[in-house]
Chains A and B, each alone.
Chain A
Amino acid sequence: MAEEKPLVKRLKVNEEVNAAMTKYIAEGWRAKKEGEKICWTTGGGAPRELLYAMDIWCYLPEVQSAVTASDQVIVQYHMAAEKEGYSMDGVCPYARGNIGEIISGRPQGYPPGTGGGIPTPDILLAFKTFCGTLIYWWEALKRRLGVPLFVGDTMFYNRPIEDRDVSYYADSMRDCVSFLEKQTGKKLDPERLKEAQGLSGKVRELMNKILELNKNVPAPFDELDFMGTALAACWWRGCRKRPWNAVEFFEKALAEVEERVKNRIGALEDERFRLVFDSNPPWYKFNWLGDYLAQKGAIYVTSSFNRWWTGYNGFDYGWCMMGRDWSFEDIGRCNIPNWINDGIEERIKYMSRLVKDYRVDGAIFMDNRGCRILSYAMLDEAAYLERDLGIPTLLYEGSMADPRHFDEERVKVQLDTFLEMLEKKKKIKRGP
């Protein structure tokens, strides 16, 4: 029976990341009491380095919603938000979860040990580096919490990035600095920002190294599992404080992965199908998905998601290397590029590269009702992978953070059928 097969061999470092996150939230509450500044900022190209350089505590409501989803408590927040009119179909499930959490006030002891959700902000910082929702969401937070908001902006790069784009970002960075200086009453120390950018660049480099190692057969780690580590990157890139110095997590992770590669240890005992995914995973079914695939010898070896800011379309993350002299333009050059903000052509190129470089047998995407910007090119990608690269592709219906859009039985049927398809394909390849 499939069920008896060993499941995913997970990365040890993830436990440390989770512990650190719990601590960061608890510490944040304490620091807030002592008058330190808390900032809620957006994922993607928001200059987190700047916040750390100015000793501002930095929290990501997007991540928080992913966490409440994987803790299976997000639906109550969704419903709280829906009562106020935040539509289940119209509004991003992250935003609904986050706003609902504010509306309903957090239930006692949730999330376990975190002192109850992320600390309430003194500063709001939104950079539109991919979806428009971020802006509407942060504007809604501003109206609800009455906290000062700064909005930074980048364009939609369905064309090559030009110098005017870079200087536009750089200008908004400069503006952002004076905003933060006003809010904190402190001046930015350029050396601190240089250091933070360096750390951040180091994280990009390490992360990229690790992701490259999954090109090995068998794949040393499960791409879904690695998201646990990647969390540290999107949260604490540029943070030097222990235990949240992301560089350290990634050095550990790299060591762990290199060790596995050296001894030809795979994340699965018997790796049979190498898969890629686009968009987000269903956070509330996160481990379930990895293990269900593992039972059938299938594993995600790469994804657009984890590569979203290490750059893979020829963009040089070396811009932010340690010790280099930086300008706001440089920071722009390394924060702007991001596949989520690319046009269809670029995304297809991107997927094809992943498929070839990682020797992928099939693609299983979640058709993500929760995020239009992540999913808008999916059907085009799928068509291209199937028709032009002969890579079987499955789209199953779901939402990154709203379990009510996910029907386990139906997903199982589709996964089973699809993996059976791959099986047949393999047989044909091997011949009789």
Chain B
Amino acid sequence: MITAGVDIGSLTAKALIFEDNKILSYGIIPTGADSIKTAQNVMNIALKNTGLSLRDIGYIVSTGYGRVLVPFANKNMTEISCHAKGAHWFFPTVRTVLDLGGQDCKAIRCNEKGRVTNFVMNDKCAAGTGRFMEVMAKTLELSLDDIGKLSLQTVKEPCSISSICAVFAKSEVLALLRRGEHKNDILAGLCEAFASRVFNLLSVVKIEREFVISGGIAKNIGLVRRLEGRAGLSANIPFEPQIVGALGAAVFAKELSER
């Protein structure tokens, strides 16, 4: 049977079509103000080049921030369970999953079945969320993708960013700019701060190999390298880290439909 997962995140929405344990197709769009419409749009995009229509989908699980607002979903589940599930589908040996989402960051430990056995989410301080990096990218007038690369090309040494609050980090960055620090060094400092906070979360759930990084920020190479350095492990990163949640949802949909 064909199932689907829809992940309405705070920044981007993803939908994924899934058949006999294969990914048929998926779509990613920015989350608009109207999440019901967003859900329909992203679903249509995913369906588009499969020649399928919503009617052909046997079971749909929604997840993410807007999970309760997906009208056509049969069930909703949290991004935590779905990311564990999705990461487990990509890498069956995975035991620790780090999901760096837009509004929050989660460290998840799971068992051999991809079931969550322990998890922790970041508290109010935003360092460690996609939003944080987005704010910083805007402040430095850079694209999100460049941040990672540039942060590895430090000119002097990484600036120290003391503030863990997104808002104050922003003004701290502006102050550094005013003092004429090089962008790369500021970025390096940001990624350091980011990495140390995120690593704290990981060590709360007790990091175990294999370990997977999912979510948009997994594309930030500067951050990934630093995390690997601290963990002394190399991270598995899915070819498209943003769809892990939607995939997990689709896998759950499959399991639920088979019950």
Contact = CB atoms under 8 A, between A and B. Distances in A.
Interface in B152-186: 162-164, 168, 175
A79 B200 contact: yes
B143 interface: no
A104 to B, nearest CB: 11
A83 interface: yes
B203 A83 contact: yes
Contacts, number: 11
B162 A404 contact: yes
B155 to A, nearest CB: 24
B175 A404 contact: no
Nearest to A406: B162
The 10 A-B pairs at the shortest CB distance, nearest first, are namely: A83-B204, A83-B203, A83-B200, A79-B200, A404-B162, A409-B175, A404-B164, A82-B200, A407-B168, A403-B162
Interface of A: 79, 82-83, 403-404, 407, 409
Contacts of B204: 83
Interface string B206-220: 000000000000000
A400 to B, nearest CB: 17
Contacts of A83: 200, 203-204
Interface string B77-120: 00000000000000000000000000000000000000000000
Contacts of B162: 403-404
11 contacts: A79-B200, A82-B200, A83-B200, A83-B203, A83-B204, A403-B162, A404-B162, A404-B164, A407-B163, A407-B168, A409-B175
Contacts of A403: 162
A89 B94 CA distance: 34
Nearest to A84: B204
A347 to B, nearest CB: 32
B195 to A, nearest CB: 13
A403 B160 CA distance: 14
Contacts of A82: 200
A364 B254 CA distance: 65
A362 to B, nearest CB: 28
Nearest to A89: B123
B157 to A, nearest CB: 17
B116 to A, nearest CB: 19
A217 B63 CA distance: 70
A414 to B, nearest CB: 16
B177 to A, nearest CB: 14
A403 B162 CA distance: 9
Nearest to B175: A409
Contacts of B164: 404
B160 to A, nearest CB: 11
A85 to B, nearest CB: 8
Contacts of B203: 83
